[in-house]
Amino acid sequence: MTKLETLNLTDVPSVDHTDVSATLNDLTKRWTLPVLQSLGAKEPARFNELKRRITGISATSLSGRLAGLEKRGIVERMVYPETPPRVEYIMTKKGWEFYNLLNGFADWAAKWEQENVSHQEVNQFNFRQVN
């Protein structure tokens, strides 16, 4: 892709734009990324373990995010027939693929943020008034 080209999803005939938008909306809801980060750091994880790891999340929000991620096939809920029942959450293959995309995005953001800081430092140096 050249500098002037942009990715336009309407140019890709096999993409259902409604599905893409719905997926992006679900995956960018508040608390979704912290849940994925926490689960990706150590799995399997039980509900209260995840709640302890994610500062500030309510039980309702965590339950909602986990249910949404399970519905999308990103997280799997494992119920063990024990007394009392034990429930653990793990990432699916699809979840790990998304997690790796997020790590790639984080690397990209860090790289360009660092370059932006370096660029600002150069500009400060170049535009500093000399008395």
Residue-wise pLDDT tens digits, 85-125: 899 999 999 999 999 998 898 888 888 887 776 656 544 44
Higher local confidence (pLDDT), 129 or 66 = 66
**What does the mean pLDDT of the chain come to?**
82
* Burial grade of 102 (CB within 10 A; 0-12, 13-18, 19 or more): middle
Residue 10 clears pLDDT 80, i.e. is over it: no
Q: What percent of the chain has pLDDT over 90?
A: 47
Per-residue pLDDT, 13: 61
Per-residue pLDDT, 43: 85
- Give the CA count within 13 Å in the CB-facing half-sphere of 16: 4
Per-residue pLDDT, 112: 85
Per-residue pLDDT, 11: 58
Q: Is the dihedral of CA 52, 54, 59, 62 positive or negative?
A: negative
Per-residue pLDDT, 113: 83
Q: Which domains does the chain have, with CATH numbers?
A: 13-126 (1.10.10.10)
